[in-house]
A and B are shown apart, each in its own frame.
Chain A
Amino acid sequence: MEEMIVRKIENGSVIDHIAVGKGLKVINILNINPYETAVLLMNVPSKKLGRKDIVKIENRKLTSDEVNKISLIAPNATLNIIENEKIKEKRKVILPDVLENIIKCPNMNCITNSNEPIKTKFFVEKKGPVKLRCFYCEKLFNSEEIVI
């Protein structure tokens, strides 16, 4: 198979080791603006995973909220921060124990989905597969049900 070449980024972030098929969701989380350059690589051969998705975005450092959201979609992803074409920092994304104000409750009858000025709050009950419990309505959700 012919190798596909994607050039290195000079500065920015690379989200590696995303499970196959989840890359598009990661791109959605990042909400790329019209002036940013980003690339999504799908089904890339990987020693560790067999196949994986990779997302590269130039001139952007991810916020902790963005990293937390990615950890829900791709709990085994690795985040590389690139400066001057070199990896300045490399770390695994970590799903925190509590997620505050970064996801919506899928239960439409939850008080957080009303016109009250409430920040959502979820406790991570299980990390693999992810199970989240809403602090307010007490319902349990898996990562597929979560509205990011």
Chain B
Amino acid sequence: MKHLISIKDLSREEIEEILEKSEEMALILKEEKNLDIMKGKILATLFFEPSTRTKLSFTSAMQRLGGNVIGFEAVESLSVAKGENLTDTIRTIEKYSDITVIRHPREGAARYAAEISSKPVINAGDGTNQHPSQTLLDLYSIKKLKGKIENLNITLLGDLKHARVMKPLAYTLAMFKANLTFVSPLSLEFSKEVTDELKEKFNSKIIQTNDIYSGVKNADVLYVCRIQKERFADQYEAEKLEKAFRITPEIIEQANENMIILHALPKVVELDPKIDETKHAKYFEQAAYGIPVRMAILSMVS
């Protein structure tokens, strides 16, 4: 693949190929072998919005592959803060590097960067649209921890309307024929457009509910995201929803013994800290899988 912009550009076969490559990378990491397939190559990380995990794990993945990394985060004191547009930034950076990873507040920014860049571009988040390396590592985590994706009962819970990770994740889980349950406050449900697409393209049977208990009860995987408070005009309303959609040990008691909990992190209050100590909590492992998955992605774009 030339670029990685949207999960929708990939077929199920292509996604499976990336997951297999990720597994190869995980084995190499486990055996503490050094790779030099990116030796002499430079990755540019352009983060027009702050990032912790994504930026660090791309950096780590590139270094594990023997390559070097340059880049910036946020825009203060940079040319872009002086009014430089994305076009000029991309045309300059492509002269300095071999692959570009970009996170930008506007939807479609990575797609546009890929159009004008002669070098591969990886989307690390464009507004509320896509974050494909996160989606791939989520799929990898489920496959790794549960052995499969197909026919699993997977519950997505939280601010489904605003969270960037949820829409593409639901899309790929439907593609892989998982049984999907969406749990959110009424005002934060997926739009009808999103659920219609899953039904039309993948013939998905979807359960939508506002009741946490019924969403958790039969789940094999519970994927939680935070209420995106920054998108609320009324902070009191946001805090009310945060409290109402919090996963507590009492809720987990109702769950399957083997249910796993995933989260793209950072988590705030949506998971009771006591959950971290339970066998269900797998989100730190999930974060660790970001390295082999991003190593696979970097080795596959060209």
Partners in one complex: yes
User: Footprint of B on A, CB under 8 Å?
Assistant: 107, 109-112, 114-118, 134-140
Q: Are A109 and B130 in contact (CB under 8 A)?
A: no
Bound-state Cα–Cα, A111 to B105, Å: 9
Give residues of chain B (241-267) contacting chain A, Cβ–Cβ below 8 Å: none
- The A interface, classified by DSSP as helix, strand, loop or mixed, is loop
A140 touches B127 (CB 8 A): no
* Nearest CB of A to B65, in Å: 30
- Assess the A116–B87 pair: CB atoms within 8 A: yes
User: In the complex the two chains form, is B85's CB within 8 Å of A110's CB?
Assistant: no
Count A-B contacts at CB 8 Å: 53
**Interchain nearest-CB distance for A25 vs B (Å):** 24
- Chain A to chain B: the 10 pairs with minimum beta-carbon distance, closest first: A136-B108, A137-B107, A111-B108, A137-B108, A111-B106, A111-B109, A111-B112, A136-B111, A140-B193, A110-B108
Which of B104, B127, B130 counts the most chain A CB atoms within 10 A?
B127
B45-72 vs A, CB cutoff 8 Å, 1 = contact: the mask equals: 0000000000000000000000000000
Given contacts A109-B127, A114-B86, A117-B87, contact A135 B111 (CB under 8 A): yes
Determine if B8 is an interface residue (Cβ-Cβ < 8 Å): yes
* A110-B86 in contact (CB<8A): no
| Complex interface: chain A residues within 8 A of B105 (CB) | 109
Q: Chain B: how many interface residues by the 8 Å CB criterion?
A: 20
Decide if B6 is an interface residue (CB 8 Å cutoff). Answer: yes
- A69: shortest Cβ distance to chain B, in Å? 22
Taking a contact as CB atoms under 8 Å apart, the answer to whether B109 and A138 are in contact is no
Is the Cβ of B111 less than 8 Å from the Cβ of A109?
no
- Check B129 for interface membership: any CB of A closer than 8 A: yes
Q: Which residues of A contact B197 (CB under 8 A)?
A: 140
Interface residues of B in 158-213 (CB under 8 A from A): 193, 197
Asked whether, in the complex, the Cβ of B112 is within 8 Å of the Cβ of A138, the reply is: no
A residues in contact with B87, CB < 8 Å: 116-117
Q: Which residues of B contact A140 (CB under 8 A)?
A: 193, 197
Q: Is A136 a contact partner of B85 (Cβ separation < 8 A)?
A: no
Nearest-neighbor residue (CB-CB) of A118 within chain B: B112
Interface string of B99-115 (1 = CB under 8 A from A): 00000111111011000
Q: Is the CB of A110 within 8 A of B130?
A: no
Q: How far is the CA of A109 from the CA of B128 in the complex (A)?
A: 9
Q: Residue among A117, A118, A138 with the most chain B CB within 10 A?
A: A138
The interface residues of chain A lying within 8 Å CB-to-CB of B193 are: 140
The residues of A that contact B85 with a CB separation of less than 8 Å are 114-117
Q: How far is the CA of A3 from the CA of B255 in the complex (A)?
A: 75
User: Known contacts A116-B87, A117-B87; is A138 also within 8 Å of B106 by CB?
Assistant: no
For B6, list chain A residues within 8 Å (CB): 138
* 15 A-B residue pairings within 8 Å (CB atoms): A107-B107, A109-B105, A109-B106, A110-B107, A110-B108, A111-B106, A111-B112, A116-B87, A116-B112, A117-B87, A136-B107, A138-B6, A138-B8, A138-B130, A140-B193
Chain A residues, CB < 8 A from B86: 111, 114, 116
For the complex, give the distance between the alpha carbons of A109 and B231 in Å.
14
Residues of B near A107 (CB, < 8 A) are: 107
Q: Which A residues lie within 8 Å of B126 (CB)?
A: 111, 137
CA distance A74 to B262 in the complex (A): 48
Interface string of B109-137 (1 = CB under 8 A from A): 10110000000000000111110000000
Smallest CB-CB separation from A120: which chain B residue?
B108
